[in-house]
Chains A and B, each alone.
Chain A
Amino acid sequence: MTHIPISVTVDGTVYDVEVEPRRLLVHFLREDIGRVGTVVGCDTSNCGACTVLLDGKSVKSCSVLAVQADGHAVLTVQGLAEGEHKWHPVQEAFKECHGLQCGYCTPGMVMAAVDLLQENPNPSEEEIREGLEGNLCRCTGYHNIVKSVEYAAELMGGKS
């Protein structure tokens, strides 16, 4: 099958590449351009480990074709921090509140939390749990993940 030229902005850098139509966005990110911060979890669109923002909205990058991202902007967990030492408040909060155990779900959890907080800067605990329902933590470390999102909301000024 013919490769198709696409132009995708990932974490602020434009990539002009050719991909097979069946290339999944997550495989494009990891294998074609080396953005390995986004991981593959379940491969059945359940777990959310591969969550990235596409034009600012969370999507599961295992369920989007790379060709469908042509002309659009992707933000991965690697593009969140401002420079080397200035983490995004959600990253900071996950560190402070121990919002990770094995860490495998973390890239997706962080991106889903970023999306959640831009939709709802001051979520209740229930809204956080609902908002993260598409992301699974197999360590079942949900308690501290919820605390992390609450603290991130505080850091970002949503909570007084």
Chain B
Amino acid sequence: MIPIAFDYVRPGTVDEAISALAAAGEDGKVISGGQSLMPVLRLRMAAPTTLVDIGSIAEMKGITDGGDHLVVGANATHYEVMNDALVKQHAPLLAQAAGTVADPAIRHRGTFGGSLAHADPAGDLPTVALALDATMVAKGPNGTREIAAKDFFVDYFTSALEPEEILVAVKVPKLGDGWSTHYEKFNRTAQAWATVGVAAAVKRQNGTITEARVALTNMGPSPVRASSVEAALAGAAATTDAIAAAAANAADGTRPTSDLHASAEFREHLAKVLTKRAVAQAAGV
């Protein structure tokens, strides 16, 4: 379908964008790559009166080395993220997961920041941001603030961003020595969203897992850390049996829904199976 008519502005700086968003009022909407928003507009599930296109803002592009973390501009596309040398070296989990988003054409347009701000419970990158303890850098009329990933994803399609705030960059901590990672995603058809996904990061010392982080996609209204799996893995032997035992807790505390893709019970089953696979792959066993 054809979207409902709207006004369109394309600011050149973040400050101009914030002013434009404020001027647009409550029915203003930010667009960048538009790969989540355009289908919604075409289905007329949203009818913003003004689109503020932040896609051309240069200061929101690029990926830079910030010392102990990477600074990923919110406008970096999935294609840029998955191919970036810094990301591949210091946050390979992010590079891998970005490569599983949708399909090549969508990865050319869709942005990292857009995917996070959209806060789709089936999105892969919010889960990765949570697993890596990323920090969101948001700018609004009252200045800049930083929001931890664990506080950023609030509910279905709802982030902690205020209506007049824009996500400008994401700080992704570098994983140090001894860490390895894997993103395991289950979906039924090409380019489909994750029915369930699991992001795992494991720190290994000799035959022991000293620390692990596990986050789940589509197991509730927002991505969630599998804390009981993480606790069970800390200090566990890096063996198939120990990992399987820990992964059996993966559905603890989750609130998956039933929909046309899967029942809640099946999602709980998938969370356990995929956690076992993701951790085993990350731990190299």
Do A and B belong to a common assembly?
yes
Using a CB–CB distance below 8 Å, which chain A residues touch chain B? 1-2, 4, 20-22, 24, 27, 43-46, 48, 51, 54, 57-60, 62-65, 67-68, 70, 112, 115-116, 119, 131, 133-135
On chain A, the residues within 8 Å of B39 by CB distance are 44-45, 63
Is B2 in the interface zone, CB < 8 Å from A? yes
Which residues of chain B in 2-43 are interfacial with respect to chain A, using CB atoms and an 8 Å cutoff?
Answer: 2-8, 10, 31, 34-35, 38-39, 41-43
Using an 8 Å CB-CB cutoff, how does the interface string of B89-114 with A read, 1 for contact, 0 for none?
00000000000001111101100000
11 further A-B contacts with Cβ under 8 Å, apart from A4-B8, A64-B109, are A21-B7, A22-B5, A22-B6, A24-B42, A57-B108, A59-B105, A60-B105, A60-B106, A65-B8, A68-B34, A112-B104
Cα distance, A63 to B33, chains bound together (Å): 9
On chain A, the residues within 8 Å of B109 by CB distance are 54, 59-60, 63-64
CB distance from B246 to the nearest CB of A (A): 31
CB distance from A108 to the nearest CB of B (A): 9
B102 adjacent to A2 (CB under 8 Å) = no
In order of increasing CB-CB distance, the 5 nearest A-B pairs are: A134-B103, A21-B8, A133-B190, A63-B38, A57-B108
Is B260 in the interface zone, CB < 8 Å from A? no
Nearest opposing residue in chain B for A111, CB measure: B105
Identify A1's interface contact among B6, B53, B108, CB under 8 A: B6
A/B pair count, beta carbons within 8 Å: 89
Cα distance, A70 to B1, chains bound together (Å): 22
Identify B55's interface contact among A45, A62, A68, CB under 8 A: A68
Using an 8 Å CB-CB cutoff, how does the interface string of B253-271 with A read, 1 for contact, 0 for none?
0000000000000000000
Identify A48's interface contact among B38, B42, B53, B105, CB under 8 A: B105
12 contacts between A and B (CB under 8 A): A1-B5, A1-B6, A21-B6, A21-B8, A22-B4, A27-B2, A45-B106, A65-B8, A68-B34, A68-B53, A70-B10, A115-B105
Nearest opposing residue in chain A for B83, CB measure: A119
B104 adjacent to A116 (CB under 8 Å) = yes
Is B243 in the interface zone, CB < 8 Å from A? no
CB distance from B60 to the nearest CB of A (A): 15
On chain A, the residues within 8 Å of B5 by CB distance are 1, 20-22
B8 adjacent to A67 (CB under 8 Å) = yes
A48 adjacent to B103 (CB under 8 Å) = yes
Identify B42's interface contact among A20, A43, A68, CB under 8 A: A43
Is B138 in the interface zone, CB < 8 Å from A? no
Cα distance, A97 to B86, chains bound together (Å): 41
CB distance from A73 to the nearest CB of B (A): 14
Cα distance, A136 to B2, chains bound together (Å): 22
Which residues of chain B in 166-208 are interfacial with respect to chain A, using CB atoms and an 8 Å cutoff?
Answer: 190-191
On chain B, the residues within 8 Å of A46 by CB distance are 191
Is B152 in the interface zone, CB < 8 Å from A? no
Identify A67's interface contact among B1, B10, B105, CB under 8 A: B10
CB distance from B20 to the nearest CB of A (A): 13
B34 adjacent to A63 (CB under 8 Å) = yes
**Quick one: which of A48, A58, A116 has the most chain B CB within 10 A?**
A58
On chain B, the residues within 8 Å of A44 by CB distance are 39, 42-43
On chain A, the residues within 8 Å of B153 by CB distance are none
Is B51 in the interface zone, CB < 8 Å from A? yes
CB distance from B51 to the nearest CB of A (A): 7
A59 adjacent to B8 (CB under 8 Å) = no
Given known pairs A24-B2, A48-B103, A115-B104, the reply for A1 and B7 (CB within 8 Å) is yes
Nearest opposing residue in chain B for A60, CB measure: B105
A59 adjacent to B108 (CB under 8 Å) = yes
On chain B, the residues within 8 Å of A2 by CB distance are 7
**Quick one: which of A44, A60, A64, A112 has the most chain B CB within 10 A?**
A60
Cα distance, A131 to B102, chains bound together (Å): 11
CB distance from A39 to the nearest CB of B (A): 15
Nearest opposing residue in chain A for B37, CB measure: A63
